[in-house]
Amino acid sequence: MRPAVSAFALTGEALACTTPEGAYANCLALSVRYALWLRERGEPAGMVALRGSRVAFPSAAGRWPLCEPGGYSHWVTVSGDWAVDWTWRQFEPSAAWPVVLPVDTVVAAWDEHVAWACDACPELVADPLHQDLAPAGMHAAHRAIARATRGAGPFPDPRHDGTAPLTPLCACAAAQPV
């Protein structure tokens, strides 16, 4: 059964990510918030981390058009066999919102994928700041940095700089098929 999306779509944090600029760099934060929302309603929810897009996105927001696709990182919420992506518009501005696809379809588009947190994991992030939405204007700041550095960065992010590293939290990932 597909996970519920219509009620979460009315939340302020989801609405903030309807545009490519609003969705930019919010995939981890919104995936965490949606997973927590599903769990509060008794639905299974975990997260998958993706790395290395197999295609470039020349119309994407922020730094993405100026960076190598192999360096892209992205997070989605997983519920059952479905992946829900509230921030895909950062890559494809005209995409549906949210994008809801079978997990297998989503992970096939990336070079790497790992269970970030399975349904049973009590924690979804290592630092509470990781579930904060990106500051307004970060997409423009990152675009300027990417232009100046030919996509090399670094790309400062107050939600991640100086916090616990962005690493998968699932200790039981080996037992969880993705």
Query: What is the full DSSP assignment across 64-80?
Result: GGGS-GGG-EEEEEEET
Q: What is the pLDDT of residue 7?
A: 98
Cβ neighbors of 122 (< 8 A, separation 6 or more) are: none
State what percent of residues in the chain have pLDDT above 70: 97
Q: Identify the pLDDT of residue 175.
A: 42
Task: Please give the mean pLDDT across all residues of the chain.
Answer: 94
Chain segment 42-78, per-residue pLDDT in tens? 999 999 999 999 999 999 999 999 999 999 999 999 9
Taking the complete model, does pTM exceed 0.85, yes or no?
Answer: yes
Domain positions in the chain:
8-123+130-157
Residues 20-58 as b or e (16 or more Cβ within 10 Å = b): bbbbbbbbbbbbbbbbebbbeeeeebbbbbbebbeebbe
Q: Which of the pair, 83 or 120, is modelled with greater confidence? A: 83
Band (pLDDT 50/70/90 cuts) for residue 29 is: very high
pLDDT at 42: 96
Categorize the per-residue pLDDT at 176 as very low, low, confident or very high, splitting at 50, 70 and 90. Answer: very low
Segment 161-174 shows an average pLDDT of 81
